[in-house]
Structure 1
Amino acid sequence: MKDPLATFLRHLAVEKNASPHTLRSYRSDLEQFERFRESRGAGPVAAVDVRLVRAWLADLAAVRALDPVSVARKLAALRSWLRFLARRGVIQRNPALDVRGPRLARKLVSFLPIDETAELLKSRGAMLKSRGATPLELPRHSTGGVAHD
């Protein structure tokens, strides 16, 4: 394969119908990995190993201070590219499969504060008068009002 990265991006565009935004992101992420690989003197793509992938992720997180979500996205792009190359026989095995991504923080769901909920329920009467008989409908499952149907 003459240019593995260009071939992969063409595959994403033509066969996977990837959006221009996805293609731009993958190109940027993978070109960044290629520059890192070359700076380490790692040889051709076929020589990529687990240590190089981990070193790149460490560089992204520590040296470049990227957010874990961004590091995870870059790892996903690399895994996808290396999987493509493994399926085409360019590399024997995808070394990125043995690399865990960064831990991502879980975001808690925010709830309407009690005082705002009370105010909303109080204003329901005025709302019904001004808009006819439009009821206030709360999503039943998210409020815990219904355990099951």
Structure 2
Amino acid sequence: MKEKEEIVGMSVKNKVVVSGVYFLIREKEIIYIGSGRDVHSRIRMHSKNRRMRFSHYTILEMSKKKRLLMEKQYIEKFRPLFNFMSNPDYQDGKKEVLRIFLTKFNSAKEVKELCGVNEDVIGKVVFERGGVPDDVIEKVKNAILSR
């Protein structure tokens, strides 16, 4: 247990403002990439969005000039679900199973309750990693699309 002096010594006098690029993460997948001069404030805003549920985030601290360039490059490289405008994979109904999974389910466990398929296999189907028999893929997709 920490002593009072140590706790007081660790305190921050003023709000720490971090400028940089941030990555919102769910199920080991980057679902959104953003940037800002006050990244913590932006992340708090996203946490209130019920459709964009995430469990973790990562911040890369950098200057304004660099963050604007890097945000664009990271979006192009990783093509996250919620960066719709920059991601042609999610236009015209492509990756519909992934979109519904990320917006309507809290975890693979919820899908498992609907279809009885192992959570690791559900992850493979949702994120199109392969190695899953066609009948199992259909079972998982039907469970997700039924929502």
Of the two, which has the highest radius of gyration? Answer: 1
Larger helix proportion of the pair = 1
With the length of structure 1 as denominator, give the TM-score of the two structures: 0.25
With the length of structure 2 as denominator, give the TM-score of the two structures: 0.26
Larger strand proportion of the pair = 2
